[in-house]
Structure 1
Amino acid sequence: MADEQFYYNPSTGEVTQGKEAAWDDRMGPYATREEAQAAIQTARERTKRADAAEEADENWGKPASWER
């Protein structure tokens, strides 16, 4: 049975069908070749959202009276 998922290799910029590269040189799996080609942009967007969520989580409002 062939691997029908797609992967993006950030070292080479190539999209492959199946796990051709080592795990540390592979992003995915993605359902389509187009999704794999957009892997870097998808990762950037997810990182921005995660950074914003983390920043919001760290904003606890005013410090406690003993911390002023």
Structure 2
Amino acid sequence: MTTEQQYWYNTETGEVEEGRRSSWTHLMGPYASRAEAQQALDSAKSRNESWEQDDEEWRNK
């Protein structure tokens, strides 16, 4: 178990939680900071767009 505080983004409420308090089905994380957790959806969107572009490039080879 880690002694560092972890933050989670709750996709149901749109709130950042300190420590995991909600069902894992609604959480993204853990993140090292509140700011990282607040950007969870933007980070996921950016990663997905990058992966989709990589997939498209691979399909067109």
What TM-score results when the alignment is normalised by the length of structure 2?
0.88
For the 8 Å contact 1:3–1:19, the answer to whether it is kept is no
Q: Which runs of 5 or more residues in structure 1 are unaligned? A: 61-68
Which has the larger Rg? 1
What is residue 45 of structure 1 aligned with on the other side? 46
Instruction: Classify 1:34/1:23 alpha carbon distance in 2 versus 1 (closer, same or farther; 3 Å).
Output: same
Q: Which runs of 4+ in 1 moved over 3 A?
A: none
Deviations 1:13-67 (A, max 9, x none): 110111111111000111100000011111110010010011111112xxxxxxx
Matches of 1:55 and 1:7, distance apart in 2:
31
CA RMSD of aligned residues (A): 1.5
In structure 2, the gaps of 5 or more residues are none
Separation in 1, partners of 2:31, 2:4: 11
Question: How many Å separate the matches in 2 of 1:44 and 1:54?
Answer: 15
2-side partners of 1:32 and 1:15: how far apart?
10
